[in-house]
Amino acid sequence: MNRLSKWAMHVKRAGRPSWLWAVRLALIVAMAVLVAGLYLAQASQMSTTGRQLESMREQHDQLKRENAELLYLISRDANIASLQQRSAAKGLVPAENIVYLAVNSGE
């Protein structure tokens, strides 16, 4: 009888109840599953957060670009040359012959 067979016989003779082994094995498996689950949950959470952050960064960049673009476009449409054109079209002319009224302050 080789050493392996002897070891198997020894385990049999030990007479420990088989359900105890099953419980231990189940606990180990459950622990492993729990750890794996936690890892997966954490990794998933990180992945989601990372994508959200990246998405927000892109959105932030786009909004900054849109903001700068809008400021430029508004300024271009309201530049002095176009204001002069539009005011001239409405018949407005430079102010002349301004009359200043002296107000007695009572002093």
Measured from the CB of residue 59, what is the shortest distance to another protein in angstroms? 12
Quick check: 87 binds another protein (CB under 8 A)? no
Using CB under 8 A, which residues numbered 10 to 69 contact another protein?
A: 46-51, 53-54, 57, 64-69
Comparing CB distances to another protein, the nearer of 19 and 100 is 100
Of positions 14, 15, 18, 81, contacts another protein by CB under 8 A: 81
**One residue of 5, 18, 104, 105 binding another protein per CB under 8 A:** 5
- Output phi, psi for 100, to 5 deg: -100, 130
Q: How far is CA 89 from CA 5, 35, 39, 76, 85, in A?
A: 109, 76, 71, 18, 6
d(CA 57, CA 49): 12
Give the position of tokens 């673009």.
69
Rounded distance between C-alpha atoms, residue 61 and residue 101, angstroms = 54
Residues that bind another protein (CB under 8 A): 1-2, 4-5, 46-51, 53-54, 57, 64-69, 71-72, 74-76, 79-81, 84, 94-96, 98-102
